[in-house]
Amino acid sequence: MKLATQLSQLNTIHQWWQPRERVLVAVSTGMDSMVLLDLLQQLPDGPQIVVAHVNHQLREQSQVEEEFLTHYCQQRQLPLVVATWSKNEHPVAGVEEAARQFRYHFFEDQMKQQNITKVLTAHHQGDQVETVLMHLTRGGQLAELTGMADRRPLGEGQLLRPLLTFSKAELRNYAVEQHLTWYEDETNQQLEFTRNRYRNELIPQLEEENPQAAEHIANYANQLAASLTALSSLLRPLLNQAILKQSNQRIELDLVKLRETMPAQTTIWVTELLISWLHLTNVNQRLVQELTNVVEKKSGKYVQLNLPSGWLAIRNYDRLVLEREKQINGQENQQTKELVVELNQWYLGTNHSHYGIFSRPNIVGATKLGNLSLQASDFPLIVRPVQSGDVIAVKGGHQKVTRTLINRKIPKPKRKQVQVLVNQQQEILAVVGVQVAYQEQSNGDNYGLFEKQIDFEGEKVNG
């Protein structure tokens, strides 16, 4: 069966593009991308092509390749966009990754400018095998051994890899039969690049043992991807049963329920939480094990683990809470920024502590710093850093917050981290973790400001 026919059938199955849909096609002038470009033009139901090329200025023939592709596109009336990665932007080290970042930033920019939602690249089975072997050697999560997906998000659109099932030999045979012109990149032979060592040394050795080694590795990756997809679909309803509360920023889970329904291997569903629920990337075994330790901690005492992308994992007896640090005006909740404080929720404070304003008179395991009498006009409450001139009400008058910190013997380096709780009238209601403002009369509803220390018990729980 001809490659163009196979590609058309694959598109019918995967729905990568619709007939005549405008797509961006990444073309380097190497054999793989020239085959992809030619195949797309042969399809009766093919997309409308906009060619994207990056002149990396890494080789003397880079300019020759750009000129060739310009002439090629002019002959076939194909739109062409070109970006040049000037030499003065090249880093001393890490050129391979820097070039990749430049390339994909260019693709994203062009997607916006051209109003295109899909970028096609010519990654093939050989590239897939290299990726799997590199991940296998580097170590990480099992899902990484599935290699590259045929589609993934890119900017506000998608990156598509329609040639992943085709071998390098199939592409070469097609290029020769169709008398295509392409350029060999001599840097592909340079062994200082990691991928080149796998391509030129390791994989040929494996193929000496078995000429079909690359195909077998790719098949294993596909089987693993299917198995992990099935496992995720089985775990999802079990995790859903354990949800106590859920929002975009917070998930509260019942650990008792999870222990009853989940596999004994905690790491399996912990990994599912991190990857499929929180959508974290670069999840490594260390992070999985740290969260597993928090979940399996026998004492059940309050403990917190910082996760990537601003997520927190909080274990409090039989509750596991995954929450993203609160934001205001799109900014992350950090001690140097303002934060809207809601009632009956814990917030990350200083000195390994959490604070919160609760309607309950007492909370087990927490210290009540003082009472707050709040009226509707006080809300929303804000926590912010201490500012010059801040004063807090004390019995008999007011006192500068800086003096309060000195009187309370707060070490000077830590004073910069201290925050204050203020109402909408900008009156300081408390110095968080230090002192509640004096209120002579109680004209509103009563709340308590509580603080809870994080119990690390000598463990390091910082992702």
Mean pLDDT score, 113-131 = 94
Domain match, 360 and 260 both: no
Using one digit for the tens of pLDDT, what is the confidence trace for 42-99? 998 899 999 999 998 887 888 999 999 999 999 999 999 999 988 888 887 777 788 8
Contact of 122 with 36, CB cutoff 8 Å? yes
One domain for residues 383 and 277: no
Q: Could you tell me if 310 and 340 lie in one domain?
A: no
Over residues 408-419, the pLDDT tens digits come to 888 777 787 889
Amino acid, res. 367: T
| pLDDT at residue 457 greater than cutoff 60 | no
Asked if 212 and 123 sit in the same domain, the reply is yes
Full domain range(s) for residue 439: 331-453
Residues 351 and 313 in one domain: no
Residues 59 and 182 in one domain: yes
Biggest CA pair distance of the chain: 94
Whether 160 is in a domain gets the answer yes
**Average pLDDT over every residue of 261-271:** 85
If one compares 146 and 80, the residue with the highest pLDDT of the two is 80
**Integer Cα distance of 214 and 23 in angstroms:** 30
Taking alpha carbons only, the member of 80, 1, 81, 2 closest to residue 35 is 2
Query: Distance (Å, rounded) from C-alpha 97 to C-alpha 94?
Result: 6
Q: Is the same domain home to 153 and 249?
A: no
Answer yes or no: do 254 and 118 share one domain.
Answer: no
Quick check: 8 pLDDT over 50?
Answer: yes
Render pLDDT for 200-253 as a digit per residue (tens, 0 to 9): 888 899 888 999 888 899 999 989 989 988 988 888 888 888 888 888 788 889
Same domain membership, residue 283 and residue 150: no
Average predicted confidence (pLDDT) for the chain: 86
Residue from 385, 387, 361, 354 nearest 454 by CA: 354
Contact 59, 186 (CB under 8 A): yes
Strand partners, 49: 23
Query: Which of 258, 292, 324 represents a domain boundary (last residue)?
Result: 324
105 and 27 fall within a common domain:
yes
How many folded domains does the chain comprise?
3
Confidence of residue 352 (pLDDT cuts 50, 70, 90): low
In this structure, of 177-191, 252-266, 327-341, 381-395, the range with the lowest mean pLDDT score is 327-341
Residue where one domain finishes, among candidates 324, 340, 370? 324
Do 26 and 90 fall within a single domain? yes
Q: Which of 167, 185, 220 is the last residue of a domain?
A: 220
In a domain, 459, yes or no: no
